[in-house]
Amino acid sequence: MVWIPFISSNKPEFKNNREARKQCWESRDIYFNCLNKIDVISPLDPKNKEIIKKNCHKQEIDFEDNCAKSWISYFKEKRVTDYRNDLIQKQMQQDEQNQNLLQGK
Amino acid sequence: MLKFSKSQSTVAHNVLVATRFNSTKLLMRSRIVAPSFQHLRTLHNTSAIYQKSHLSRQPIGGSESQRHGSKTSRRFENVEFNAPLSIAFFLIVGGLSYYIFENQKKKMDAEQQKESRKGYGTPQIGGQPFELIDQDGRAFTDKDMLGKFSIVYFGFSHCPDICPDELDKLGCWLDELQKDRIELQPVFVTCDPARDSPEVLKEYLKDFHNSIIGITGTYAQIKQMCKQYRVYFSTPENVKPGQEYLVDHSIFFYLMDPEGKFITILGRNLDEVSGAEKIRESIWEYKRTH
């Protein structure tokens, strides 16, 4: 018997087509929504592990089942960078408004 | 007899050398003689001679005609100073040189305009020979980019979210441009040749616009192609077979002209409408100036 790594893992192989991608993205959105509710930004941060498992365990499993392995960590990382970019954008807008207010006076 | 002919030739000589003087002498002579009808004719003749000789100055290089008889000299006179002919000659030569000058000027202006339109620092993107294969395993080279506008995109089939979004957008652009009868050859080049075989690409592209051509090749060929288009891409090192990974790559569409040369890039900021608009304008501008 030959041990084949990707068959031995119990996770089914991700079929990369439009249908599968849609399913993956949808379960990702559900999972991230759940994280929003418990104010968790980074799902990769070990200190958030407990609270995620407590509140969004089902959503996390769904998300990880529906997406390709490499995509899971990609989306989790992307959530953090997207959040940071959002924050920077908001900060910049705030600064601009303040500047305008000062110049208006 | 011999003497006479000699004196005759001297007369002819004199006529030539001092035509004016000679004719005045003739005139004087005719004045002395009482005017009769015949003399009047002579007067008329001589005045004709006078007029002619007055007009004819010493021809340039006149010594030549001086050696010959008066007959030859007259023929030269005609060529030498024919007012209508010289005016016509002047007009033709002048007109011709003006035409040539203007033409040349126009050509140079056009060249200069073409040069200025290029702008400074037009990026050297694409336009070089390459040899890859499409999703059916057929060769796809730089020759396949000639004679039509192409839009080139770099991506990979395992791309999680950006590439599928961008390819959907491309499909919208193609449909939109088709309404204006703008034909565009869409080319999807994989940055992940290790996994994206022609078969994988064929399966993957089924989900998108049916005119998209999927391109792959060996790692070296793809690397060369990406270099040509200034596309950054990185495949993680030490990938074990069967291991999943993502490819980092720059995400731009490259609009190429029918000579295979770069026109413009389209970034992610453009949506279904503004992207099609940019392509349409770029192609119209290209057609207007070429």
User: Looking at the domain assignment, is residue B102 inside a domain?
Assistant: no
B77 alpha carbon, distance to own chain's centre: 47
- pLDDT single digits (tens) B223-276: 999 999 988 888 776 777 777 788 888 789 999 999 999 999 999 999 999 999
Q: Are residues B79 and B135 in the same domain?
A: no
Per the structure, how many domains does chain B have?
2
User: Looking at the domain assignment, is residue B223 inside a domain?
Assistant: yes
One-letter amino acid at B206 equals K
Neighbours of B10 (CB within 10 A): 11
Contacts of B246 in chain A (CB under 8 A): 70-71, 74
Among B54, B83, B112, the domain-final residue is B83
User: Looking at the domain assignment, is residue B253 inside a domain?
Assistant: yes
User: Looking at the domain assignment, is residue B94 inside a domain?
Assistant: no
* Predicted local distance difference test score (pLDDT) of residue B240: 75
Cβ contact B216:B241 at 8 Å: no
**Residue range B119-133: mean pLDDT, rounded:** 80
Whether the per-residue pLDDT at B35 is higher than 60: the answer is no
Q: From CA B105, how far away is CA A103, in angstroms rounded?
A: 54
- Among residues B271, B159, B166, the alpha carbon closest in space to that of A24 is found at B159
Q: Are residues B138 and B78 in the same domain?
A: no
H-helix segments, A1-105: 5-8, 18-37, 49-55, 57-66, 69-104
- pLDDT single digits (tens) B67-106: 454 555 555 555 566 788 888 888 999 999 999 999 999 9
Q: What is the ipTM of this complex?
A: 0.77
Interface with chain A: mutation pick from B157, B158, B161, B199, highest number of A CBs within 10 Å? B161
Residue B159 among known ligand-binding residues:
yes
Q: Are residues B185 and B49 in the same domain?
A: no
The H or E element containing residue B70 is helix B70-80
Q: What is the CATH number of the domain that holds B142?
A: 3.40.30.10
Q: Are residues B32 and B138 in the same domain?
A: no
Query: What chain B residue is nearest to A6 in terms of C-alpha separation?
Result: B242
- pLDDT single digits (tens) A7-27: 444 556 778 899 999 999 999
The residues, ordered by sequence, that sit 6+ positions from B245 with a Cβ below 8 Å of its Cβ are A70, B158, B235, B236, B239
**With left for phi above 0 and alpha for psi between -120 and 50, is residue A12 left, alpha or beta?**
beta
Range of the domain at B37: 2-83
